[in-house]
Chains A and B, each alone.
Chain A
Amino acid sequence: MMFRTSLLTLAAIAAAGTTLAQDLPAPVQARQGQFQIMALNIGVVANMARGNTEYDAASAQAAADNLVAISMLDQSFHWPEGTDNMALEGTRALPAIWENLPDVVEKWGAFGAAAQGLAAVAGGGLEGMQAALGPVGGSCGACHDAYRAPE
């Protein structure tokens, strides 16, 4: 995967200085939507893991498969330069993302690996699914630890 940051420059949009989500540049809205889809599917699995909902093998498998599918989306167009939280309001993406792209790509890859680990066992029983969810959460946290600002 490559972040083709030179393809798009959004300085003009950034200069508009917006705060409303619907006014954010399309790539920012797209990546935020991507993370919302991730959260929705993690929620299906995590609610079962927490005991909030009953374990259902088919739903757990479907959610895990969705996470794998998202992990395979090429991220090139979600992250144009100039869409960090210093340039725009309404994003928590730190400028450090663009200063450490190889590390960001590696962390995204770690999410993919963890999602595949989850998908391998999600339909096979609650305990295996619970154990495999930990690394998925860990991969979210590892990236957010370094590259997302607090609210």
Chain B
Amino acid sequence: MRPVLIALPVLALAFLAGGLALTRPVTVPDTALAGLTGDAIAGEAVFWAAGCASCHAAEGATGAARLVLAGGQRFASEFGTFIAPNISMHPEQGIGAWSFADFVTAVQEGTSPEGRHYYPAFPYGAYRLAARQDLADLWAFWQTLPSADTPSAPHEIGFPFSIRRAVGAWNLLNLHDDFVVTGELTEAETRGRYLAEALAHCAECHTPRDALGGLDRRAWMAGAPNPSGSGTIPALTPDRLTWSEAEIAAYLNDGFTPDFDSAGGHMVSVIRNIAMLGDEDRLAIAAYLKALPPAGD
């Protein structure tokens, strides 16, 4: 569907919901976070699982450069080009001056400290399922990260998507407080679901989107067009991804497919993150993928 056609219902919803004050950005108060103490060492694992560096470090960064969250990577979409902001510890250009509540508000509600909506290119829709203790640990780890003084570049988003209030309407439609995969899950599948749905946000690329850019939860991980180029992002459902759990876990560690082809595109960066986790977490993700409902035809 053309963006202009998409825009009409977006705007209609924005005005309708705006009247009901439902599109107001949500914030998390300090009091909701009382009693949480972060552990930076535990937070490092959350950092890699959540994939922060894949978008906010420099394109193609490896090693210690993946801890420099200066932003600048460009993400094309049919709504315009989003440019990852500086989220390093720099007090002015980055987020070094934020409180923990500011951080949780950004990560789980998609609201900036100034009370504006972030665009959902930032996967707060996944992160809102993260455990608050994990976020406390992550924020503790964040304090150890370097500062970068690169200013954030503005997104290249045209009217009407430049109306940030419309994101509030989008949030009403697309934010969920429950996991997609439900039912009886083993311990490993449950851990894998948490890693995949709440932190690693696999679905952002592997699940198709509706006309408004929301994830189609009925076609969860069923594969999708590549938003920033040619080709498609493959399905991860067990009827399509037929690798064994051990093969999936190994791929997420060394980047080789069962045929010893190597990962490509943004997945290279994802594997750089997931390779930092323990074997049991990679096996948990594999177990979760095998528990997905089939994509069907």
Using a CB–CB distance below 8 Å, which chain A residues touch chain B? 35, 39-40, 42-43, 46, 49-50, 85-86, 92, 94, 133-134, 137-138, 140-142, 144-146, 148-151
Known A-B contacts A50-B250, A92-B231; the reply to A148 vs B265 at CB < 8 A is: yes
Return B84 CB to nearest CB of chain A, in Å.
16
- A138–B231 contact, CB under 8 A? no
Chain B residues near A144 (CB-CB < 8 A): 262-265, 268
Q: Name the residue on B nearest A144 (C-beta).
A: B264
- A141–B226 contact, CB under 8 A? no
B234 within 8 A of A: yes
**Bound: A50/B283 CA distance, A:** 14
Chain A residues near B263 (CB-CB < 8 A): 141, 144
Chain A residues near B268 (CB-CB < 8 A): 141-142, 144-145
Q: Name the residue on B nearest A138 (C-beta).
A: B62
- A150–B232 contact, CB under 8 A? yes
- B60–A142 contact, CB under 8 A? yes
Q: Give the contacting residue for A49; candidates B60, B234, B254, B267; CB below 8 A.
A: B254
Top 5 A-B pairs, shortest CB-CB distance: A144-B264, A140-B262, A43-B260, A145-B268, A141-B268
Chain A residues near B229 (CB-CB < 8 A): 94, 149-150
B177 within 8 A of A: no
**Bound: A145/B266 CA distance, A:** 6
- B254–A137 contact, CB under 8 A? yes
B233 within 8 A of A: yes
Interface band, chain B: 20 to 34
Chain B residues near A39 (CB-CB < 8 A): 259-261
Chain B residues near A40 (CB-CB < 8 A): 260
- A141–B230 contact, CB under 8 A? no
Q: Give the contacting residue for A137; candidates B230, B234, B256; CB below 8 A.
A: B256
B271 within 8 A of A: yes
Main SS at interface, chain A: helix
Chain A residues near B255 (CB-CB < 8 A): 137-138, 140-141
Chain A residues near B261 (CB-CB < 8 A): 35, 39
**Bound: A105/B268 CA distance, A:** 19
Return B144 CB to nearest CB of chain A, in Å.
24
Known A-B contacts A138-B62, A141-B268; the reply to A46 vs B254 at CB < 8 A is: yes
Q: Name the residue on B nearest A103 (C-beta).
A: B60
Q: Name the residue on B nearest A38 (C-beta).
A: B260
B269 within 8 A of A: yes
Known A-B contacts A85-B230, A150-B226, A150-B232; the reply to A145 vs B264 at CB < 8 A is: yes
Return A1 CB to nearest CB of chain B, in Å.
21
Q: Give the contacting residue for A145; candidates B230, B231, B260, B265; CB below 8 A.
A: B265
Chain B residues near A50 (CB-CB < 8 A): 250, 254
Return B273 CB to nearest CB of chain A, in Å.
13
**Bound: A49/B253 CA distance, A:** 11
Return A74 CB to nearest CB of chain B, in Å.
22
Chain B residues near A86 (CB-CB < 8 A): 230
**Bound: A21/B83 CA distance, A:** 38
Q: Give the contacting residue for B230; candidates A35, A46, A140, A149; CB below 8 A.
A: A149
Per-residue contact bits, chain B 267-289, to A (CB 8 Å; 1 contact, 0 not): 11101100000000000000000
**Bound: A140/B264 CA distance, A:** 9
Chain B residues near A49 (CB-CB < 8 A): 254
- A42–B256 contact, CB under 8 A? yes
Return A66 CB to nearest CB of chain B, in Å.
13
Chain B residues near A141 (CB-CB < 8 A): 255, 262-264, 268, 271-272
Return B254 CB to nearest CB of chain A, in Å.
5
**Bound: A53/B265 CA distance, A:** 29
Chain B residues near A85 (CB-CB < 8 A): 230-231
**Bound: A61/B272 CA distance, A:** 27
Q: What would 17 A/B residue contacts be, using CB atoms closer than 8 Å?
A: A35-B261, A43-B260, A46-B254, A50-B250, A50-B254, A85-B230, A86-B230, A92-B231, A94-B230, A138-B62, A141-B264, A141-B271, A142-B60, A144-B262, A144-B265, A144-B268, A148-B264
